[in-house]
Structure 1
Amino acid sequence: MGVDIRHNKDRKVRCKEPKSQDIYLRLLVKLYRFLARRTNSTFNQIVCALRVSSRARSRILKAGGKILTFDQLALESPKGRGTVLLSGPRKG
């Protein structure tokens, strides 16, 4: 008898397009992807996080980015000007 292998977790899940069918949101995503790819803006090069995995850290630093903690961000930009706060999904 063989061993049954569960293949339902093999697929790599990655967000390729927005779930919303709103054409304006889709145009905004398309424009943002273009600008992120074609400009050397520092907006996409600095990440502030509580924790960063070693793999994510290596990818960010390899791409020429910079990783900050919240206290370093508070020293650089006390009023939060020019920053964007993003929150991921919460478990529970």
Structure 2
Amino acid sequence: MGIDLEKGGRIQKRNRTAPKSENPYLLLLVKLYRFLARRTNSNFNKTVLKRLYMSRNNQPPLGLGRLVKLSRKNTDKIIVVVGKVLDDERLYKVPKLTVCCLKISDSARGRIQKAGGEVLTFDQLALRSPKGSNCFLLRGPKHAREVYKHFEGVAVEGHVKPYVRNKERKLERARGRRPSRGFKRKPKKV
């Protein structure tokens, strides 16, 4: 038997070639970076374009504290985040930074500008650095969402969090969890 090409055919590439969102501003950015990626042949522009296509779950937000920590050696460069930048109240002092991102919280924007830094949009970045020179690309922690604790291979070493109906005294507390039910397993020392 052959392959029914009408039904599904051969497996094609599953990578996105356009964003699912109908946001007109995002579509204009995609148009701009598609042009830049083609004409400049820069890996930076190709990466930004690929990240603009991504779903909201794959564009995790980045906190200001982590952003400062990761860019400590690159304070003179433009820090680029394809996603949202959020404020971190635990951070006492914000250094002078130039940040380019899709969205930014008002408090994070205020703190960056108060320190003498600036916040750019992606079209301003394209004018200032069309090839991505003097730029530092960052992204948020992808596996920080609670749902990833339930997935094998992503969860903390040796323990995948079960989906439980309830956490009462007796539920999910049977064999291996209570001395009265056979035995009680001792916790691992990490």
Structure 1 letter corresponding to 2:118: K
How many angstroms does 1:68 deviate by? 0.3
Q: Which has the higher strand share?
A: 2
Where do 5+ consecutive residues of structure 2 fail to align?
1-64, 78-95, 148-190
What is the match of residue 55 of structure 1? 107
- 1:42 to partner: Cα distance: 3.2
Query: Which of 63, 86, 91 is the matching residue for 2:138?
Result: 86
Identity %: 48
> Which structure has the greater CA radius of gyration?
2
Cα deviation digits, residues 52-74 of structure 1 (max 9, x gap): 00000000000000100111101
Could you list the structure 1 runs, at least 4 aligned residues long, displaced by more than 3 angstroms after superposition.
none
Query: Is 1:76 aligned with 2:110?
Result: no
Task: Measure the CA separation in 2 of the matches of 1:50 and 1:65.
Answer: 17
TM-score normalized with structure 1 length: 0.53
Unaligned runs of 5+ in 1: 1-13, 19-28
Aligned residue identity for 1:42: D
Cα distance in structure 1, aligned partners of 2:76 and 2:113? 13
The CA RMSD over aligned residues, in Å, is 3.0
CA distance in 2, matches of 1:45, 1:56: 11
